[in-house]
């Protein structure tokens, strides 16, 4: 079997839409990733996505951005932003754990710091399943840790959350409860469609855990990179960086440009399930692997201009190209929750409707942190993870000038 690489924008876009290329990035992480939405293919994938797409509609994203997320964000900041200095990556995980659990369908029992610590720990442990294929150490030890985390997640958080939703669904089916009173989350949607999907219990756990992981890791990666790009852009004018909190349209442009340069998954791996010909004419046999280089494609100068590798939130738009590039994938596996993270991505020339526009969770988080006077910690250096092929921050210390700042309501 051979391995091929595609890295120009047009070739990558075409490969992502090639139906005879099957997801292969998470093959080694089957302990958690087997048969979850992102690893499915063909009819099984279409059926699962059709069910879960019932949740991911425009009114759902508006509900979370306008009603759910502000409350969760304020609670988290009140709980953890109690020091003038903190690691932004850690704070980001604290914020996103709460949001991710909410739309995955996992209840917080008591809302305590100890409970939040456990949920954060489980997120990190479970997340190893998505990257174990690139791990060069003792995989058996990692697999044992993931297995133990799955068991704890199931017993401590998943099972009670499922039981509560099943009781509510019984009331709904008996007419005691209206449908709009049911929780709006993945677990509830899956339970409502139990007869159609016929998911075994262990797969139901994995599917919910997958959504918990996907939203958290992607969002934190984007949050830290976006903050770094903002501070770098305004390196000599920190006051202007804070002013972005009052211009959400411009702040969203900063976030989208950061997403283009720093995709949370720099590569997508696919395996051919039938002989195919790539856009550039390369013949690929069944079983061959195709590495789809999203990061390089997003810096294609023929699409984004001669300064494509540089951060520029004022970059001229190309009519058919998203300002985030291909960071959210494409084809059947385009990110189902992209509007939650990135907000509405406007078409070239489209005007913002201030009453209905969705800005996305990253913009909303950055707004609140900038209102509190967030700047890089002058006494602590930000560091990236060494010896990693991925562009990941290990720590990003920040300080706040206004810890107790009330957000604009």
For residue 401, name the pLDDT band (cuts at 50, 70, 90).
confident
Helix (H, G, I), strand (E, B) or coil at 12: helix
Which residue from 109, 222, 120 is spatially nearest to 158, judged by alpha carbons? Answer: 109
Is residue 409 predicted with pLDDT exceeding 60?
no
262 contacts: CB under 8 Å, gap ≥ 6: 221, 222, 225, 295, 391
pLDDT for 388: 64
In a domain, 119, yes or no: yes
Arithmetic mean of pLDDT, 202-215? 94
pLDDT for 238: 62
Task: Please state, in angstroms and rounded to a whole number, the distance separating the CA atoms of residues 99 and 61.
Answer: 12
Is residue 408 predicted with pLDDT exceeding 80?
no
| Angle CA 120–125–128, to nearest 5 | 130
pLDDT for 389: 67
Of the ranges 230-234, 235-239, 250-254, which one carries the lowest mean pLDDT score?
A: 235-239
Is residue 407 predicted with pLDDT exceeding 60?
no
pLDDT for 403: 59
Q: Provide the domain limits for residue 303.
A: 3-400
Tokens 């001229």 found at: 316
pLDDT for 351: 84
248 contacts: CB under 8 Å, gap ≥ 6: 359, 363, 367
pLDDT for 196: 94
pTM over 0.85: yes
Dihedral sign, CA of 40, 184, 221, 345? positive
* Overall residue count recorded for the chain in this entry: 409
In a domain, 151, yes or no: yes
In a domain, 258, yes or no: yes
In a domain, 405, yes or no: no
* Neighbouring-strand partners of residue 268: 292
Task: Please state, in angstroms and rounded to a whole number, the distance separating the CA atoms of residues 87 and 90.
Answer: 5
Question: Residue 23 belongs to what H/E stretch?
Answer: strand 21-23
- In contact, 77 and 402? CB cutoff 8 Å: no
In a domain, 407, yes or no: no
The total domain count for the chain is 1
Which residue from 210, 162, 151 is spatially nearest to 187, judged by alpha carbons? Answer: 162
Question: pLDDT digit string (tens) for 154-169?
Answer: 999 999 999 999 999 9
Tokens standing for 319?
């009519």
Burial of 78 (0-12, 13-18, 19+ CB in 10 A): exposed
Of the ranges 87-101, 120-134, 206-220, which one carries the lowest mean pLDDT score?
A: 120-134
In a domain, 380, yes or no: yes
Task: Please state, in angstroms and rounded to a whole number, the distance separating the CA atoms of residues 39 and 23.
Answer: 6
Q: What CATH number corresponds to the domain at position 154?
A: 1.10.630.10
Phi (first) and psi of residue 256, to 5 degrees: -65, -40
In a domain, 244, yes or no: yes
Question: pLDDT digit string (tens) for 166-197?
Answer: 999 999 999 999 999 999 999 999 999 999 99
In a domain, 408, yes or no: no
User: DSSP string spanning 260-325?
Assistant: HHS-SSSEEEEEESS-EE-TTS-EE-TT-EEEEEHHHHTT-HHHH-TTTTS--TTPPPPTTS-TTT
Q: What percent of the chain has pLDDT over 90?
A: 69
Q: What's the N-to-C CA distance of the chain in angstroms? A: 58
Which residue from 242, 250, 255 is spatially nearest to 361, judged by alpha carbons? Answer: 255
Question: pLDDT digit string (tens) for 51-86?
Answer: 999 888 768 888 888 888 898 898 888 887 777 789
């Amino acid at each position: 079997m051979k391995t091929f690489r595609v890295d120009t924008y047009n070739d990558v876009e075409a490969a992502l839409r090639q139906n005879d290329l099957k997801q292969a990035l998470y093959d080694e992480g089957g302990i958690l990733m087997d048969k979850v939405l992102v690893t499915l293919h063909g009819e099984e994938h279409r059926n699962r996505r059709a069910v879960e797409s019932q949740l991911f509609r425009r009114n759902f994203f508006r509900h979370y951005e306008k009603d759910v997320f502000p409350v969760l964000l304020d609670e988290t900041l009140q709980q953890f932003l109690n020091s003038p200095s903190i690691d932004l990556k850690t704070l980001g995980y604290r914020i996103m754990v709460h949001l991710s659990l909410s739309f995955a369908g996992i209840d917080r029992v008591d809302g305590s710091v100890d409970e939040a610590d456990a949920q954060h720990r489980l997120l990190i442990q479970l997340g190893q399943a998505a990257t174990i294929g690139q791990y060069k150490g003792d995989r058996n030890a990692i697999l044992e840790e993931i297995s133990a985390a799955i068991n704890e997640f199931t017993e401590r958080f998943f099972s009670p959350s499922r039981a509560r939703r099943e009781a509510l669904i019984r009331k709904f089916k008996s007419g005691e409860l209206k449908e709009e009173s049911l929780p709006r989350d993945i677990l509830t949607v899956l339970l409502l469609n139990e007869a159609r999907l016929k998911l075994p219990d262990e797969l139901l756990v994995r599917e919910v855990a997958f959504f918990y992981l996907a939203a958290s890791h992607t969002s934190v990666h984007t949050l830290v990179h976006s903050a770094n790009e903002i501070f770098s852009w305004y390196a000599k004018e920190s006051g202007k960086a804070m002013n972005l909190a009052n211009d959400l349209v411009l702040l969203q442009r900063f976030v989208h440009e950061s997403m283009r340069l720093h995709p949370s998954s720099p590569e997508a791996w696919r395996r051919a399930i039938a002989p195919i010909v790539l856009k550039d004419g390369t013949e690929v046999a069944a079983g061959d692997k195709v590495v789809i280089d999203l990061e390089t494609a997003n810096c294609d100068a023929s699409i984004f201009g001669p300064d494509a590798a540089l951060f520029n939130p004022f970059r001229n738009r190309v009519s058919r190209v998203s300002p985030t590039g291909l960071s959210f994938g494409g084809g059947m596996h385009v990110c189902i929750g992209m509007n939650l993270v990135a907000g509405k991505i406007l078409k070239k020339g489209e005007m913002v409707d201030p009453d209905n526009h969705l800005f996305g969770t990253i913009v909303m988080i950055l707004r609140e942190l900038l209102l509190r006077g967030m700047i890089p910690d002058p006494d602590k250096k930000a560091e990236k993870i060494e010896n990693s092929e991925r562009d990941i921050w290990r720590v990003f210390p920040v300080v706040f000038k206004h810890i107790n700042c009330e957000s604009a309501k």
